[in-house]
Structure 1
């Protein structure tokens, strides 16, 4: 490893330490002052490169906020922070820790398996203790979030982790934000507004939060009343992968995995149902109408991560890689909705690249896995640990000194500098 790479590795470790709040990390100071669900699981993978105990603690703290229903919230509000909106008073979550009322794409099982694989002797007891909690979360998805074709739905754009992705545009345009009232956004005081969701979108985000709070986050009521219920490629592929991983570790640890193989098959059928023949890509689908969003995204390329090797999607990826300097654009550059710096409407995200790379490697596409990894390493080496990046220029965007980008370097991209794959 070169001295430059060693310096970057040390900087990545420092970011994880500086964003550590005692048992959990924040994504970055200021903009995101709490524990985010999928950020936290990815942080654990980064910690596992130099502090195995801290890696397990990250996941354990996340599951300490699990609701009785099995749901694991997308944000845990461990400590008050006036610099973030909407806070716990708006969400009115009903879990053991103040939290939001929605979840996020479930990557914890996969990250826990990867952490365990680095030191099985140390991780056996801790993963065994987490197993029933993770399974309860997955069971919650299976009970409440499958559409008629068994793809996994989200009930809020924030729940998808891809807040302002173009897939949600058509549904958001049909929604009213009447009665949402006045509020003050805090995100645009930390980051340039050109990089964040628009006020039109944000009004509807808050309306959905207020509706959920009024319904006390009752899933049956939300299923019947919410205007936003979208089958989401991100959540579908990630739950499919996570359930495969949970089944594998359950078998290895001699735990009860009754019914899990059948559940994996159900989720795989749901994932395959998201193939939009007209678009030639995996796509989001409106659960209420069955209509596709007709929108390819970097989430479409998570199919291999979920264990689905689709030749048509592979050709779309090869084409995408020729159109931007850095992979993988979150939205096609030739779309009229592409925006090079606005969150999920064009920029590249290192952690999405990592999951895409893992999937490509698992499915035997080593050349493309190497390309995505090499270019992501170059992106971080050149432009730092930003939240996300302009896929055409590489310019950093969003928050800085970002936990999951540092974790990506430590667990995946930085090994490119070591000459390993």
Structure 2
């Protein structure tokens, strides 16, 4: 890690803990007040990772609350609407999931799509932080995680790679990866709406109105089909094999296999999923960009996007050195690793959401994956940049990769969590002390 000796690490650690507690709504956290007033799927899993550094019971309750919204078919929604907030759009009514296919007996209001399935991996990290406190809770959670992954394989992995049915499902809402597929949507018939996000954040940091019209069109499309996975798969113009979903699913499935061993359950089905996901992940390799890339299943075209999602391959467990030269090139063009899109790319925008900015959670996965693959120098660069970025520019939602300008929401839960669990020098000391 780059030198942090002139920073007040104890004060930064304390601020990160304060942010987690500030955003704690009693059993679940919101990403940040105002902009995101509900419980988000992968945000929540990262929040648990942060809580595990100082409150192991609260960490488990975060994950358990997330799975209280699991549908009967195994899907874990990307938003759980615990307490309605009139200041957020699209609301629960817009999603229309009350009679959704697969929801079954679940009564907690939610959206109709999921998000990158990091829950098993981060639950495994929470368990490892304190095995004695987590054994019973992991055993209780395991069947729910298994059902979630079975849903992923049945509903989203027809090519081996994991697909998304909406850009929000990838967590990378307006990434250039979806531009072709989004252009194929005619948003005619979108009901009038008022965006709330641009009331909290500068519009130049958010997706455009053209993007948002198509997001809402896809929500209406799914709602009209009662979120029936098979009908959506057959009829939707938007179906994209996504590196984020694929590599996080692959990693989480590997961790699920470790859980199966721990709880004494047969892992034959899980091992089959791992093999299938590995094959699908390798199919995302784009020889032209020399990186892993999204594929529009409706056209067969690759996105041609060099993104931080492609660099999750090592987090997923692939030991592939072919992408290292491109990663080094991207880092050479960046002050802070890892931009969400190559600064040399034609769609690069240093402040607009997933078209350039750096996200601490993606860095956590990229950096840890590189370290596990033996790429110590690159891993140290990613970790050191993350630490400097947060120490110098605060706990923002995301950051400009060229100068570190903080962007999006402030006092952000998952940025604070990543600091506590990984980026902070005190986290490094903890990890080194337990190796």
Counterpart residue number, 1:229: 239
Secondary structure, counterpart of 2:424 in structure 1:
helix
Q: How much has 1:399 moved relative to structure 2?
A: 0.1
Cα RMSD (Å): 1.3
Q: How much has 1:417 moved relative to structure 2?
A: 7.3
Cα 1:416/1:298, change in 2 over 3 Å = farther
Counterpart residue number, 1:92: 96
Aligned partner of 1:163 among 156, 162, 173: 173
Q: How much has 1:202 moved relative to structure 2?
A: 0.2
Q: How much has 1:92 moved relative to structure 2?
A: 1.3
Aligned partner of 1:113 among 124, 134, 158: 124
1:138-177 pair list within 5 angstroms? 138-148=149-159, 150-177=160-187
Q: Structure 2-normalised TM-score?
A: 0.95
Q: Which runs of 4 or more aligned residues in structure 1 lie more than 6 Å from their structure 2 counterparts after TM superposition?
A: none
Aligned partner of 1:103 among 114, 127, 134: 114
Aligned partner of 2:65 among 56, 61, 73: 61
Measure, in 2, the Cα distance between the counterparts of 1:296 and 1:335: 8
- 1:63 and 1:72 in contact (8 A); partners too: yes
Measure, in 1, the Cα distance between the counterparts of 2:332 and 2:426: 21
Measure, in 2, the Cα distance between the counterparts of 1:96 and 1:134: 19
Counterpart residue number, 2:102: none
Cα 1:236/1:418, change in 2 over 3 Å = closer
Measure, in 2, the Cα distance between the counterparts of 1:117 and 1:15: 23
Residue deviations 1:116-161 (CA, integer Å, cap 9, x gap): 011111111101111010110111010011133x110000000000
Counterpart residue number, 1:34: 38
Counterpart residue number, 2:273: 263
1:151-300 pair list within 5 angstroms? 151-300=161-310
Counterpart residue number, 1:126: 137
Measure, in 2, the Cα distance between the counterparts of 1:267 and 1:418: 31
Stretches of structure 2 that go unaligned for 5 or more consecutive residues are 99-105
Q: How much has 1:418 moved relative to structure 2?
A: 5.3
- 1:196 and 1:342 in contact (8 A); partners too: yes
Aligned partner of 1:395 among 372, 392, 405: 405
Aligned length: 420
Residue deviations 1:320-358 (CA, integer Å, cap 9, x gap): 111110000111111121001000000000110011011
- 1:377 and 1:416 in contact (8 A); partners too: no
Counterpart residue number, 1:353: 363
- 1:45 and 1:411 in contact (8 A); partners too: yes
- 1:374 and 1:416 in contact (8 A); partners too: no
Measure, in 1, the Cα distance between the counterparts of 2:405 and 2:296: 34
Counterpart residue number, 2:22: 18
Measure, in 2, the Cα distance between the counterparts of 1:331 and 1:186: 26
Measure, in 2, the Cα distance between the counterparts of 1:174 and 1:252: 46
Secondary structure, counterpart of 1:294 in structure 2:
coil
Stretches of structure 1 that go unaligned for 5 or more consecutive residues are none
Measure, in 1, the Cα distance between the counterparts of 2:213 and 2:116: 23
Q: How much has 1:416 moved relative to structure 2?
A: 6.3
Counterpart residue number, 1:316: 326
Secondary structure, counterpart of 1:346 in structure 2:
coil
Residue deviations 1:290-339 (CA, integer Å, cap 9, x gap): 21111110000000000012212111111111111000011111112100
Residue deviations 1:41-77 (CA, integer Å, cap 9, x gap): 0000000000000000000000000001100000000
Q: How much has 1:415 moved relative to structure 2?
A: 3.0
Q: Structure 1-normalised TM-score?
A: 0.98
